[in-house]
Amino acid sequence: MRRDLRVPLEPTPAKIPVTIRPLVREDIPQLLEAHGHNTQKKDRDERLDRLSFLGEEIPTCYVAVTQAGAPCYMQWLISSEYNDSILSRFNHVFPLLAPDEALLENAFTPEAYRGLGIMSFAMAHIAKKAESLNARWVITFVEKDNVPSLKGCKKAGFVPYLLRDDRWFLFHRRLTWTPLPDGTPYPFDAP
Position 137 pLDDT exceeds 80: yes
User: Which domains are delineated in the chain?
Assistant: 2-179 (3.40.630.30)
Position 22 pLDDT exceeds 80: yes
Read off the pLDDT of residues 25-35 as tens digits, 9 standing for 90 and up: 999 999 998 66
Please spell the DSSP secondary structure of 122-161, one letter per residue: HHHHHHHGGGGGT-SEEE----TT-HHHHHHHHHTT-B--
Tell whether pTM > 0.85. yes
Read off the pLDDT of residues 77-135 as tens digits, 9 standing for 90 and up: 999 999 998 888 887 778 889 999 999 999 999 999 999 999 999 999 999 999 999 99
- H-helix or E-strand containing 173? strand 172-179
Backbone angles phi, psi at 137, to 5 degrees: -115, 140
Read off the pLDDT of residues 51-75 as tens digits, 9 standing for 90 and up: 888 888 788 999 999 999 999 999 9
Mean pLDDT of the chain: 91
Please spell the DSSP secondary structure of 9-58, one letter per residue: --PPPPSS-EEEEE--TTHHHHHHS--STT--HHHHHHHHHHHHHHTTT-
